[in-house]
Amino acid sequence: MRIAGTSYTDSMVTKLNLLSAKEYQLQNQASTGQTISAPEDNPAGMAQALNLQAQNSAVTQYSQNISTLQTNATVTGNALTSLQTITEKASEIATSADGTSTPAQLQADATQVTQLIQEAAQLMNTQNGSQYVFGGTNSSQAPFTVSTDANGNVTAVTYQGNTSVSQSEIADNTSLAVNVPGQNNSGSGARGVVSDSRYGTDLFNHLISLQNNLQSGNTSAITTIDAPNLSKDDDNIIWQVANNGATQSRLQAAASFATTQQTGLQQSLSNVAGADLAQTLTQLSQAQNAYQVALQTSSQILQLQQSVLNSLP
């Protein structure tokens, strides 16, 4: 039986190509740390790795959302806590304004209440970056504007936001909103901070009423109307502060869970597609040696074959 003159050459080239491909594959694994770089490397493993990567990307987005919400919740919480101080002070003034107060004292208290209204409006226009946190989803402009008369007394505080709040996903099928509307008299939805008809709260109008009654010396109206109304406002702010605290605790728990998820997914991905560096480097060294030996052997055989051919008559 005759063997084609190119049979050995073809076999040699095929062998060298296989060894070269194996060497390249191991080099790629060593540089990337991954055993799978193409579907043909491991079809089932590739499908599993892609699924794990998709889950990890989702959890990474959740983590980013949580971080943003935590910042918003902190800014909101700080403003609410400061606002609570203002409502408590206003309630103290209303309680102390009885028949024993002098006209001068009532005027001084009225001036202080005017200042408290201005401070409260500033707090309700708190920003996180370029966004106003108490404007609902209409967060690009200051939600509250203050009107005053020629004497500097506050005559009205107007809300320019809306009653909607945006939500962000913090886990699979779980969304959360941290911002609250400054005002909500629609009868449904998120609870308004300074005004909500469901709870009898209307902080700015109640403060303006207190201001005016102090100026006019109407202590009876202060005792029977302003003080009870401000008590409702104070209760509402206390609820808002507590709710914000609960939200921050929930976000902290969500952040910890997301971190645990990411760690688990990354470990699973490493188990599926990760390369053992020490083992890979050993295999790479073996493959390189095998390729060099095959190359030298092939070269020697080709030289011998050429010598035989040259010696033929």
Q: Give the H or E element holding residue 128.
A: strand 127-128
pTM: 0.73
Residue 284, Cβ neighbours under 10 Å: how many?
19
pLDDT tens per residue across all 313 residues of the chain: 454 555 556 666 675 566 555 555 555 554 555 555 555 555 666 667 677 778 888 989 999 999 999 999 999 999 999 999 999 999 999 999 987 889 999 999 999 999 999 999 999 999 999 999 999 999 999 999 999 999 999 999 999 999 999 999 999 999 999 999 999 999 999 999 999 999 999 999 999 999 999 999 999 999 999 999 999 999 999 999 999 999 999 999 999 999 998 888 777 767 665 544 444 445 556 555 655 665 666 666 666 666 655 666 5
Burial of 123: CB neighbours in 10 Å, binned 0-12, 13-18, 19+:
buried
What pLDDT is stored for residue 309 in this prediction? 57
What pLDDT is stored for residue 278 in this prediction? 46
C-beta of residue 54 within 8 angstroms of C-beta of residue 62: no
Which single residue is written with the structure tokens 């408290």? Answer: 116
Closest Cα to residue 195, out of 246, 161, 222?
161
Which residues does residue 34 pair with via DSSP β-bridges, in sequence order? 274
C-beta of residue 257 within 8 angstroms of C-beta of residue 226: no
Burial of 112: CB neighbours in 10 Å, binned 0-12, 13-18, 19+:
middle
